[in-house]
Amino acid sequence: QLQLQESGPGLVKPSETLSLTCAVSGYSISSGYYWVWIRQPPGKGLEWIGSVYRSGSAYYNPSLRSRLTISVDTSNNQFSLKLSSVTAADTAVYYCARPIGPAAIYDAFDMWGQGTMVTVSS
């Protein structure tokens, strides 16, 4: 049974770097899929942040690309998000997810973590 669990600081200061990790259990990241980060500001809609493959190849939302790094750690079966120079606009629930298809960079998402709230504030 696949499970995804986000972890990281719940509070980040403006201009600093937001760092989150998604631990995957019940499936080996090395077996495939493009693993995904999605976020949702309070009371607002969903935003795809980016995807990473087992090889480390990453695909980013153009609006975040200059501040974003998504990486994979196959030895610990997890993947990570780093978003630099954060502002209040980056305050959101951050979800990690897995798409429904094993080979598609862009796809529907059938498996989600529970989400973790990150607030950007001094």
Partner 1 sequence: DIQMTQSPSTLSASVGDRVTITCRASQRISSGLAWYQQKPGKAPNLLIYKASILQSGVPSRFSGSGSGTEFTLTISSLQPDDFATYYCQQYNSYSTFGQGTKVEIK
Residue 113 binds to partner 1 (criterion: CB under 8 A): yes
Residue 112 binds to partner 1 (criterion: CB under 8 A): yes
Residue 73 binds to partner 1 (criterion: CB under 8 A): no
Residue 110 binds to partner 1 (criterion: CB under 8 A): yes
What letter represents residue 13's amino acid?
Answer: K
Report CA-CA distances (Å) from 49 to 31, 64, 96.
Answer: 22, 7, 10
Q: Which stretch binds partner 1 (CB under 8 A): 8-16, 17-25, 74-82, 92-100?
A: 92-100
113 vs 120, beta carbon nearer partner 1: 113
Q: Give the chain's radius of gyration (CA, Å).
A: 13
DSSP codes, 37-98 = EEEE-TTS--EEEEEE-TTS-EEE-TTTGGGEEEEEEGGGTEEEEEE-S--GGG-EEEEEEE
Q: Looking at 10, 75, 108, 122, which residue binds partner 1 (CB under 8 A)?
A: 108
Residues that bind partner 1 (CB under 8 A): 45-48, 59, 61-62, 95, 97, 100, 104, 106-110, 112-115
